[in-house]
Copies of this chain bind each other. A is one copy, B any other.
């Protein structure tokens, strides 16, 4: 589980747990109805939208020289910062912190042991200062040791109630409407859409079908081992183990894609250096390719962060200058949330 927190700036990540709410932009019913007719209704016209539409036409028009058979149409999407809000802290880390009391109840010995003591005390400033090793320990304790079914039930309960501090809405409401439209548009054109996330595979699978229309078998993520065993009635079950099988960040993304999909994607979407290798690997294939990076440059409607925004102190995912340069060199398209998206969320 260590990977879920690799590359995070903990200080920044944990520093601000409450943010001011912003008023939702009210839209008229007729404007929404008009949008619904277009497959990418929440996108402004521009190079980003055009690159998506062109790519789909080029790969699905049977008369195109770059036509791709439906079976080979694979598109992969990072989750945090690409499909939903990752600021000020990854949703799954919030989940793990919230799970600490339950984990301690199972193993009371942890109660007076750091870092659990600090988390239980609820001192946000102290929590923000936890070391990477501390956070790894918390993730291991809260994401393993129970059956797969128990984990799923607990996660489901949490994700259906926990709310983001800024919008006071469910985390699952904070998916980016324009990206949901890309997922739908690709699927409507025969693409299989996959999530390829540094987050926990089992965590994301709990809600991916409902929120993204992506079934569990199309979620690749950081994954721990499981262990087969029997309960006292002889009924078999799988226990989640702390052993890390796949760190689905950086080079782990193409490795995870090979392991669980076995096909090179034709299109890949990300937002940080953790997605770099996935985009490189996608771009290294023959024929038409689409590589896109979401740039968080909209401080008003969402957030503006990352060194490419001149705001290194607030980074969560890191959209570095080097990533910007590679994108330009390799023909990847940068999506400006501010310029390219008419609205960010479905409730806007």
Contact = CB atoms under 8 A, between A and B. Distances in A.
A171 B98 CA distance: 54
Interface in A265-311: 277, 280-281, 284
Contacts of A263: 216-217
Interface stretch (A39-47, A137-145, A234-242): A234-242
A223 B284 contact: no
Contact of A228 (B227, B236, B254, B260): B254
A255 interface: yes
A259 interface: yes
A237 B245 CA distance: 21
Interface residues of A, number: 35
A93 interface: no
Nearest to A238: B258
Question: Which of A71, A209, A260 has most B Cβ within 10 Å?
Answer: A260
Count of chain copies: 2
Interface in A211-236: 215-217, 219, 223, 225-228, 235-236
A226 B255 contact: yes
A201 interface: yes
Contacts of A223: 259
A236 B71 contact: no
Contacts of A245: 245-246, 259
Interface string A200-212: 0110010001000
B71 A262 contact: no
Contacts of A205: 262
A148 B257 CA distance: 12
Given A227-B251, A235-B284, 14 more contacts: A202-B262, A205-B262, A217-B261, A217-B262, A217-B263, A219-B262, A223-B259, A236-B254, A236-B277, A238-B255, A245-B245, A245-B246, A245-B259, A259-B260
Interface of A: 71, 148, 192, 201-202, 205, 209, 215-217, 219, 223, 225-228, 235-238, 245-246, 251, 254-255, 258-263, 277, 280-281, 284
7 closest cross-chain pairs (CB), A and B: A216-B262, A228-B251, A236-B280, A217-B261, A205-B262, A226-B255, A260-B260
22 contacts: A71-B209, A148-B258, A201-B259, A202-B262, A216-B261, A216-B263, A217-B260, A217-B262, A219-B262, A226-B255, A226-B258, A227-B255, A228-B255, A228-B277, A228-B281, A235-B284, A236-B284, A238-B255, A238-B258, A245-B245, A259-B260, A260-B260
